[in-house]
Structure 1
Amino acid sequence: MKKGVLTACSLLAMLGVSFSSQADSVLGIYAGARYHDLSVDGELGQSNGVTHFDFSDDQPSSFYIALEHPLPLLPNIKISSFDMSTKSDIQVEQGTWQYGGVEYPQGSTANVGFDVDFIDYTFYYEILDNDLVSVDFGLTARDLDGHTSSYTGQDAAPITQQFSGILPMLYTQVRVGIPTTPITLFADANYLSFKDSDARDIQAGIEYRLIDNITVDVNLQAGYRDMKLALDDLDNINTDINFKGWFAGIEVHF
């Protein structure tokens, strides 16, 4: 299934987009890693209802690698990964709360965990590429895999609910260099809105060129990331969760 989706995304990018861009004159490889400090908040539940949670903060890492080439009709490709884990406790104040086939009576404490990881396969074109401004545009296939867990905090094993899917998202990136300085401002976004599902992933920050020569470039990065994952009945899981916070990272360009 994954091969079919990736092939379809690649063909769509090749056939549906005919931009004439100024790509790298030689093959370029970008590799980067980022450390995040994120706060998490939102709603989680199943098709019969959701409940609001104040999730614990998390400090996940993300990694990416991109390949850019001078062939104008073929898209460049970027592969990135991200995973995070968070949890929350709620006190059932009245009635009962049902989740994962378990009924939590009034007065009990429900412990809920939320784990998600994804790999992004992005196919993009350089619409504009010069020393001052660069603009990329393309499509991302976000391969999402996660699970929720609920338990009472007693000896009983947690009840786990799996969910997975591939989200097609629009992708864009803008970079603006500050003349006569080693500083670049950047922002990139992935976005999806379909029926009752809504997902976004926006990053913006500043980059400092620590090393800049014909052999290798090394860039230090810092910025802010804002993610939303609102999914409607994905494997019987409903989410409306926001991840927000700062990041710091490093990028190497060969």
Structure 2
Amino acid sequence: MKKCISALAVLGVFAVTPVYADTIAGVYIGAQGWQAEPEGGFADSQNTTNFNFDDDMQGSAYIAVEHPVPFIPNVKISHSTLDTEGNTRLDANYTFDGNLYTAESTVFTSVDLTTTDFILYYELFDNDILSFDLGVNGKYVDGALLVNDSASNTQGTADFSGVVPMAYSRVQFGLPFSGLGAYAEGSYLSFDDHTFSDYQLALTYSFIESLAVDMTLQLGYRNVELDIEDLDDVYADMSYDGAFFGLELHF
């Protein structure tokens, strides 16, 4: 969560920069709180084990800049935390970082994971009722894993990072003169035994619409699926899903 707060501070710098609503460029700044339910596990081989993880509040923040220049894509940068931890009683032997954790032992596991999306996209269709964006996403994944058995004083750690190229799309619907709307947004990749998907569905309500700024509330559902095969010697099969709420400013 600290990393997300730092990202919000950076985005705040853009928020105080004077941009006149869509005369030159449109700037979107948003933040979301996400009550995610994590499932799955990780290992240093294909024999991953499912762990018990706590349901934690995650955070995300983003900024997007849209412009009228033809053929040059719009830009969106988004940062999310996917941190969780928990205690698990093993039902079979498990190895991690060269250590053996025996069946029936209780281990503490921790996942410290952040993702940063660098999205380039085009607005293929855009009006007050329907808009459709299509582009590419370079998702940077940075993670740190820990397994600890305090009874045997055994602890293992692993770090991994990499850029995952993904397809990106967003569809947004609006009900004119009501402030109500909805959107579906997502990125997806599957190659070399890696599978990664990140999508969200939300209802929106624009409660302030003016020449200076628009403010929109978001209420929706987000799902992240992460299936990694041998990234920096790490194997992981994790999923996060749950409801989120958010606020977006449009300058």
TM-score, scaled to structure 1: 0.86
Alignment identity in percent? Answer: 35
Question: CA separation in 1, counterparts of 2:71 and 2:63?
Answer: 21
Instruction: Report if aligned partners of 1:25, 1:69 keep a CA contact under 8 Å in 2.
Output: no
Q: CA deviation at 1:117?
A: 0.2
Structure 2 SS opposite 1:54: coil
Seen in structure 2, the aligned counterparts of structure 1 residues 189 and 93 have a Cα distance that, compared at 3 Å, is closer
Amino acid at match of 2:192: K
Alignment of 1:149-160 (within 5 A): 149-154=146-151, 156=153, 158-160=155-157
Aligned residue runs from structure 1 range 138-149, under 5 A: 138-149=135-146
Aligned to 1:43: 41
The CA deviation string for residues 126-151 of structure 1, in whole angstroms up to 9 with x for no partner, is 00011111100000000110011011
* Contact preservation (8 Å) 2:112, 2:144: yes
Q: What's the counterpart of residue 66 of structure 2?
A: 68
2:195 maps to: 198
**How far has the Cα of 1:110 moved from its partner?**
1.7
Question: 2:128: which partner in 1?
Answer: 131
Determine helix, strand or coil for the equivalent of 1:51.
coil
State the Cα distance separating 1:187 from its structure 2 match. Answer: 0.9
Extract unaligned runs of 5+ from structure 1: 1-23
8 Å CA contact retained: 2:43, 2:95: no
Partner amino acid, structure 2, of 1:159:
G
Q: What is the identity, as a one-letter code, of the residue corresponding to 1:110?
A: V
Distance 2:162 2:73 in 1: 24
State the distance in 1 between where 2:194 and 2:44 align: 14
Matches within 5 A, 1:219-234: 219-234=216-231
Counterpart-to-counterpart distance in 2, 1:181 and 1:194: 43
The 1-side partners of 2:182 and 2:175 are apart by 8
Matched, 1:238 2:235: yes
Q: What corresponds to 1:169 in structure 2?
A: 166
Residues 23-48 of structure 1, C-alpha deviations (whole Å, 9 max, x = no match): x6631110000000010111321225
Residues 135, 169 of structure 2: 8 Å contact kept = yes
Counterpart amino acid of residue 199 in structure 2: I
- What TM-score does the superposition give when structure 2 sets the normalisation length? 0.87
Cα distance in 2, alignment partners of residues 184 and 107 from structure 1: 51
**Range 155-164 or range 46-55, more displaced:** 155-164
Counterpart for residue 19 of structure 1:
none
Residue 234 of structure 1 deviates from its aligned partner by 0.7
SS in 2 for 1:247: strand
Q: Cα gap change, 1:67/1:157 in structure 2, threshold over 3 Å: closer, same or farther?
A: farther
RMSD of aligned residue pairs (Cα, Å): 1.6
User: Alpha carbons of 1:110 and 1:252: their partners in 2 closer, same or farther (altered >3 Å)?
Assistant: same
Amino acid at match of 1:233: D
Match of residue 28 from structure 2: 30
Deviations 1:215-253 (A, max 9, x none): 110111110001101111111111111100000010001
Instruction: Verify the 8 A CA contact 2:186 2:200 in the aligned structure 1.
Output: yes
- Paired position in structure 2 for 1:10: none
Secondary structure, counterpart of 2:24 in structure 1: coil
Mapped contact 1:25–1:70 kept (Cα < 8 A) = no
CA distance in 1, matches of 2:154, 2:70: 55
* CA distance in 2: counterparts of 1:46 and 1:98, whole angstroms: 7
Q: Which amino acid is the alignment partner of residue 53 of structure 2?
A: F
